[in-house]
Amino acid sequence: MVNQVLVLDVFLLLLVAATAIAVVTVRSLLSATILMGIYSLLMALVWSNMHALDVGFTEASVGAGISTILLLGALVLTKRFAKREPIIHVPALVICVVTGLLLIYGTADMPKFGDPNAPIHHLRVGQDPSKKSLLLQNVGKHPSAAPRDKGHAHEGHPDDDFNGHVPNTVTSLLAAYRGYDTMYETTVIFTAGLSMLLLLRRRRDDDEIREGRRS
């Protein structure tokens, strides 16, 4: 029986691959930027088809929105056309094709699309102490953590760690179970903004002082 998700998935991914080849091949940088916007929107469709709604939301807003604006601003400040060069660079193409064939040969061991017996759905680190696993961690709550009180759930909602206040499991993972990762990711975004300020803002002040616009 055919997987309904897979049919649309195949069609969309063929479009995505065609757009990716166009992005790398085209000579005008403005066309490459707009094609990256189209590519991001197609990827958002692929994520929505695979029921990854949060990822699709983020890809559409960040990839098709902010990334396009950023590259268009970069084009205004630099050049708009790349220099003419041969379309196919033979040594690089040979390396990519050989690596691709090796990688495709290596997918024979991986679980198929949507396989219910895939290890990601069943195994947790340190779950079975009889099996010798490489990293036997103590997965559980720290002894001084606040005790979870079951039985105080929001009306009609499941009785879980958050008393039913957080139906979106992705946000619960992002902010609570993996909150440490998200804190440093916010720091990464802050660092990117900071480096933009440091690299691009000083020159404007220098120019204005030199032209005598500032006292």
Partner 1 sequence: MLGYFNYWLAYIIILIGFYGVIARRNLIKQAIALGLFQTGVFLFFVTMGVYRTPDGTPGVAPVWTDAAKTGPFDNPLPHVLMLTAIVVSVSTLAVAVAIIVNIQRKYGTIEEDEILEADREAYRKDR
Partner 2 sequence: MREHEPPDEVRTSMLPDETMSQQTLVRVVAKMTIPFILVLGIYVILHGELGPGGGFQGGVILAAGFILYGMVFGADELRRRIPTVVFDIGMALGALLYAGTGLASLLAGGTFLDYGMLQPTHAGDGEALGMTLVEYGVGITVCSVMTTIYLMVSDPADSKVEG
Counting contacts by CB under 8 A, is residue 179 touching partner 1?
Answer: no
To partner 2, the closest distance from the beta carbon of 99 in angstroms equals: 32
Residue 128 neighbours by CB under 8 Å, 6+ apart: none
- Binding pattern to partner 2, positions 109-148, x when CB under 8 A? ---------------------------------x-xxxxx
Token reading at 179 = 């909150």
Counting contacts by CB under 8 A, is residue 174 touching partner 2?
Answer: yes
Counting contacts by CB under 8 A, is residue 192 touching partner 1?
Answer: yes
Burial code of 62-95, b = ≥16 C-beta within 10 A, e = fewer? ebbeebbeebeeebeeeeeeeeeeeeeeeeeeee
Q: Which is nearer to partner 2, 13 or 166 (CB)?
A: 166
DSSP single-letter state for residue 147: P
Q: Which is nearer to partner 1, 108 or 146 (CB)?
A: 108
Counting contacts by CB under 8 A, is residue 153 touching partner 1?
Answer: no
Distance CA 122, CA 127 (A): 10
Look at residues 46, 38, 100, 88 and name the one whose alpha carbon lies nearest to residue 68.
38
To partner 2, the closest distance from the beta carbon of 178 in angstroms equals: 10
Counting contacts by CB under 8 A, is residue 116 touching partner 1?
Answer: yes
Look at residues 64, 85, 191, 39 and name the one whose alpha carbon lies nearest to residue 72.
64
Q: Which is nearer to partner 2, 78 or 117 (CB)?
A: 78
Q: Which stretch binds partner 1 (CB under 8 A): 87-95, 126-134, 135-143, 146-154?
A: 87-95
Burial code of 189-214, b = ≥16 C-beta within 10 A, e = fewer? eeeeeeeeeeeeeeeeeeeeeeeeee
Neighbours of 39 (CB within 10 A): 22
Neighbours of 187 (CB within 10 A): 11
Counting contacts by CB under 8 A, is residue 83 touching partner 2?
Answer: no
Judged by the rule CB under 8 A, the positions of this chain that interact with partner 2 are 53-54, 57-58, 61-62, 65-66, 69-70, 73-74, 76-77, 79-81, 142, 144-149, 152-153, 160-168, 170-172, 174-176, 179-180, 182-183, 186-187, 189-190, 192-194, 196-197, 200-201, 204, 207-208
